[in-house]
Structure 1
Amino acid sequence: MKDLSKTALLLIGFQNDYFAEDGILHAVVEESSRVTGVLDNTLALLSGRGRDFGLVVSTPIHFTPSYEELTEPVGILKTIREVGAFKAGSRGAETIAEFEPYTSLIREVPGKRGLNAFSNTELEVLLREHGIEEIILAGTVTSICIDSTGRHAAELGFKVMVLSDCTSGRTVFEQQYYCENVFPLYGEVASLSTLVAA
């Protein structure tokens, strides 16, 4: 069994605006999330091996009601502002209810207001303090927050693993393309079953 004592499980985007049926951006990741089984598989990982990790971290994204943090945003951040997603204090910005049984296990790191979970947060400090050498990524969106966080982690010297069936993209094609052609450029791609069996 793989020793996870120096590994952090990094949970990205598990918030109602993505995963609740009435979430503002649910439709963006719905098909890919259903195909990969991202939520069920991540819950299975937390249940089966969650306490084996050196650290389990969630980095939710929150914005003030006026989105004053976003100055002339483009792309996904512009969309988030336009549709009113991830407003602090809103139901959409809340962590999904399915994670409630694991609240004592998951360490929430606040401050994420962009694509990269290391930007404007204390994530790197926390990982260093706990002697973490590898991060395993789970969540959404594959081409945006998962990729930018994984790349940054690799540049900081951490080993990176992306779980192909614990992540989801905007489309099934995007998910498959990143897992086959992008993530292997700086990290390892594995399935939940491979990690559990390792």
Structure 2
Amino acid sequence: MNTHNTCLLLIGFQNDYFSPNGILHGVVEESSKVTNVLSNTLHLLNCLEQTSVLIVETPIFFTPGYKEIVDPIGILQTIKEVGAFQEGTEGSQTIDELSQFQNRILRISGKRGFNAFVNTNLNEVLQQHAITNIILAGTVTSVCIDSTGRSAHEQGYQVTILSDCTSARTVFEQSFYCENIFPLYANVITHTELLSQLELSL
């Protein structure tokens, strides 16, 4: 792995998850605090800012009325019921903490579900940049992180999931996925271990 063929993919860093006023903040609050997801991710971004690592954000948006969601179940049903991630709302916006890196983060729109490759041009962008390694950070571990990670693996990318930059619905779920699910198709490391592998100073 090196900085030239690596992409850091940021998933779910939006107000509805990470802002104290976010509609779904309570879903990931405990897990995010235990692993210090936000501070670890910001530290990672600071270290990567001057490198050639491709940094991509794939926010999820829905139009008012959620016409994109047909017969929803599970978390998508919850999103629709509570009115989360509606395009144009404060809750759907990227968290303010990432604004300092806005010139380094490439936003890829179109995500409407769990998998960041579906309904987006993510794969094309990765190929254009000759990316072979994908690093995942964000939330929710058992949903968007897992779905996107599996898809990336199936498409031939080397996948790494950052255990201290991802958060789940519960602390148990976070540890269970990092210890038992992700290792089936990905490397699971901390952000400091990633920086060491990339030979970057902490």
Equivalent residue for 1:37? 36
Deviation at 1:187, TM superposition (A): 0.8
Whether the aligned pair in 2 keeps the contact of 1:118 and 1:152 (CA below 8 Å) is yes
Alpha-carbon deviation of 1:51?
3.3
TM-score, normalized by length of structure 1? 0.98
Q: Name the stretch that deviates more: 2-11 or 117-126.
A: 2-11
Looking at structure 2, the residues matched to 111 and 194 of structure 1 have their Cα atoms a distance apart, in angstroms, of 31
SS of aligned partner of 1:5: helix
Residue deviations 1:116-139, cap 9 Å, x none? 000000000000000000100000
Matched position secondary structure for 2:111: coil
Instruction: Give the distance between the partners of 1:32 and 1:117, measured in 2 at CA.
Output: 22
The percent identity for this pair of structures is 57
Matches within 5 A, 1:163-178: 163-178=162-177
One-letter code of the match for 1:99?
L
Asked if 1:180 corresponds to 2:179, the answer is yes
Number of the residue aligned with 1:90: 89
| Gap runs ≥5 in structure 2 | 198-202
In structure 2, distance between residues paired with 1:175 and 1:51: 30
Indicate whether 1:63 and 2:62 are aligned: yes
- The TM-score, its normalising length taken from structure 2, stands at 0.96
Match of 2:144 in 1: 145
Deviations 1:3-62 (A, max 9, x none): 221000000000000000000000000000000111100000000123324310000000
Q: Aligned equivalents of 2:52 and 2:112: distance in 1?
A: 26
| Separation in structure 1 between the aligned mates of residue 179 and residue 52 of structure 2, nearest angstrom | 26
Q: Conserved in 2, the CA contact under 8 Å of 1:54 and 1:130?
A: no
In structure 2, the residue matched to 1:124 is: 123
Query: Does the C-alpha gap of structure 1 residues 111 and 36 become closer, same or farther in structure 2, counting only changes over 3 Å?
Result: same
Count of residues in correspondence between the two structures: 197
What amino acid is the match of 2:111? K
The match for 1:6 is 5
Q: 1:136 corresponds to which residue? A: 135
Q: Which amino acid aligns with 1:73?
A: P
Letter in 2 for 1:178: Y
RMSD between superposed Cα atoms in Å: 0.8
Q: Deviations over 1:91-144 (max 9, x none)?
A: 000000000100000000000000000000000000000000010000000000
Which residue of 1 is the match for residue 188 of structure 2? 189
> Do the aligned residues in 2 keep the contact of 1:168 with 1:175 (CA within 8 Å)?
yes
Structure 1 unaligned blocks of 5 or more: none
- Cα offset, 1:197, TM superposition: 2.0
